[in-house]
Structure 1
Amino acid sequence: MYPEDLELLVSRTMPFGKYKGRLLADLPGHYLNWFARNGFPKGELGRLLALMHELDHNGLSALLAPLRKTATPS
C-alpha cells in the first residue's frame, strides 16, 4: 500500500457498474465483498478496491475522514 492510495479512495469514483460515479470510499461493503469473492479488476482500480475492502472489513473506514476534507473528486 502507498499513502497516496488513501487519498485516491476519497477522490476517485467507480468507473462502471451499479455504483458508477460513487467515490470508492463510499462503496457499500457487500459490493466490496462481491469483488473479494469473485476477483478484483486488474491494475490500479483493483488495488484500490482491495484496499477499500480491507479498510471496510476491519472497521477502519473512519481513517479516511480527515482526507475527505481536502479531496477533490475525479
Structure 2
Amino acid sequence: MEISPDKQKLVELAHYRMPFGKFKGRYLVDLPEPYLVWFRKQGFPDGKLGVLLKSMMEIKENGLEPLIRKIQKEFPPLKL
C-alpha cells in the first residue's frame, strides 16, 4: 500500500492561520509547540481546525516544519 499526501491539504495546512486566541492570525506552523501540546492535553477542537492542529503537531514532532515552509513559498494559497 502506497501512502501519498494530498497536495491540496498540505497547501491548505501551510497557509492556514489560527482563527482565535493569543496566536490569532499566525500560521499554524508558527505556533509554539507547547501551545500544540496544550491542545493535545485539553483536546483538539472539533472540525477542520482540530484536524489541522493535530497534523501540525505531528509535523512539528517529526521535524518537518521546513517542508511546510517550502510549501508556503512555492505554492500560493488555495482559492476557496
- For the aligned pair, the TM-score class normalised by the smaller chain equals 0.7 to 0.9
**Map of 1:1-74 to 2, 5 A cutoff?**
2-69=6-73, 70-72=75-77
Runs of 4+ residues deviating >6 angstroms? none
RMSD: 2.0
Q: Percent identity?
A: 45
TM-score by length of 1: 0.85
> Structure 1: any 5+ residue segments left out of the alignment?
none
AA in 1 matched with 2:76: A
Tell me the distance in 2 between the aligned counterparts of 1:49 and 1:36: 9
Give the aligned residue type for 1:71. P
The number of aligned residues is 74
Where in structure 2 are there 5+ consecutive unaligned residues? none
Cα 1:56–1:38 change in 2 (3 A) is same
Larger radius of gyration: 2
